[in-house]
Structure 1
Amino acid sequence: MTETQQCRITDQQWADAALIWDYHQMKHELRPCDAAIGLGSHDFGVPTYAAELFHANLFTTLVFTGGPNPTHPERFPRGEAAHFTERAVALGVPANAVLQEPTARNTGQNIQFSRDSLATAGLDVRSVMLISMPYMERRAYATCRRLWPEVEVICASAPMSLDDYVQAIGDDTLVIDNLVGDLQRVIEYPRLGFAIEQDVPVRVRDAYGRLLNGGFDSRLLR
């Protein structure tokens, strides 16, 4: 999207973005799990919230997963897992409570490689908390249910409104592009075998179509 388009986000487009934002969040009730996985991303909100949940005694083992961020490699040059671990430890999570998985390059690998890391550590995981960016909850859930069907999945992300998230990221167009891109993956990944099918209400599909027509497409699969 061009700078001119960025300055012209309409009230309807904001309403459509808010609808998709709400759809992406699973609204799971948080409860103690055998382990948690902090999914790699461009957002330091993930390890920050993971530390908060650790201190709330919701899990005792935490995996951070991810290599260099493919969209913003300069942000975490030593890989997402390393930088996320440092942030969580700085917030009081004991280093021996954290496993690092530094090679995953996508959400499927985040799940698979973290599962392998937990197994290697000798942990019997029957329930897992996936900690992600707010708009990534549904895709993470669908991916985990496809690749790790025997585990119970609880999704978590820092509780905030779309407006608050946009202010934290500082780029409204990028946030809407990401909302649209993740919804495309929710729709398309089951056909590719990457995730389970999710019901997408008509009103959400309509909002998605309007935002695509408005040019919010930089994060689409090509």
Structure 2
Amino acid sequence: MDENLIDDYARLLFDYHFLKQPLKKADCIFVLGSHDPSVADYAAQLYNEGFASYIIFSGGVVRPIGELRNTEPKSEAEAFFDIAVRHGVPAEAILLENAATNTGENFIFTKKLLKDRKLNFNSFILIQKPYMIRRTYATAMVQFKEYDFVVSALPDTYDSYLTRCLKEGISKERVISNMTGDLQRLKIYPAKGFLIPMEIPDEVWTAYEQLLMLGFEGRMATQV
């Protein structure tokens, strides 16, 4: 198996998924849950730079995350809370949504949290891993369309992101399988009403098919 060829295919997917939008100040930074602690690091950075006055961490999946992987397991939101506080974000500036188990629920349950708390936030910076930014945007255009938002992730290339993941104990196979899984979702989820359609360039789809043939299909969604 040619690792350079695999990386070339994976780099095409990464660059496609990492939709770039200009940052602007917002009422709140909204972080969608994942296994990647860098999203919490980035949220704290933006908070400390004055981009928003509040952070919402959404994610109910309990899993080991970053430096916290050897501590008592916590939900994604709780683990991200700990990371943000360690970076100097005041606890009172953080809201936790601890029930969501997927991207759609991140939006649905966070909207419920806003309503229940009577919070009149109108603008958001949505934060996720780089290769989930396009799907986050496409989902928000359905689930969060009444709000003003931009999507953002810690600036990265495929190579720098993969290097950091390997240091965190996240394998290359998992990263690439996550990316093929996200592209599959971008293809099939519009028909289910989960997100808006996004044009997928032919070269990106060809790279996706090649990666599937090479076995990077461990994170695919069911199509039923």
TM-score by length of 1: 0.91
Counterpart CA distance in 1 for 2:162 and 2:83 is 21
Match of 2:157 in 1: 161
Where do 1:10-159 residues align within 5 Å? 10-69=3-62, 77-159=73-155
In structure 1, what is the Cα distance between the partners aligned to 2:150 and 2:47? 14
- CA RMSD, Structure 1 to Structure 2 (Å): 1.9
CA distance in 1 between partners of 2:22 and 2:28 (Å): 16
SS at match of 1:99: strand
**Cα distance in 2 for residues equivalent to 1:62 and 1:86:** 13
1:110-146, Cα deviation, whole Å (9 max, x unpaired): 1111122123333223221111111110111111111
Measured after TM superposition, the shift of residue 20 of structure 1 is 0.7
Give the total of aligned pairs: 215
Give runs of ≥4 in structure 1 deviating > 6 Å: 70-76
Residue pair 2:64, 2:73 contacting (<8 A) in 1 also? no
Partners of 1:75 and 1:129 in 2: CA distance:
29
Deviation at 1:181, TM superposition (A): 0.8
Q: Is the 8 A contact 1:50 1:131 kept in 2?
A: yes
CA–CA separation in structure 1 for the residues paired with 2:63 and 2:86: 25
Residues 76 and 83 in structure 1, CA contact (< 8 A), matched pair in contact too = no
Contact kept in structure 1, 2:138 and 2:195, CA below 8 Å: yes
Distance in structure 2 (CA, Å) of the matches to 1:44 and 1:146: 26
Deviations 1:28-83 (A, max 9, x none): 00010121111110011011110000011111111001112479899872211111
- Offset at residue 193 of structure 1 (A): 1.3
Q: Return the TM-score normalized by structure 2.
A: 0.90
| Residues 60 and 100, structure 2, Cα contact 8 Å, conserved in 1 | yes
Q: Which has the higher mean CA deviation after the structures are superposed, 68-77 or 97-106? A: 68-77
Q: Is the 8 A contact 1:24 1:136 kept in 2?
A: yes
How many percent identity over aligned positions? Answer: 37
Structure 1 residues 89-110: Cα deviation after superposition (integer angstroms, max 9, x where no partner) = 1100011110000111111111
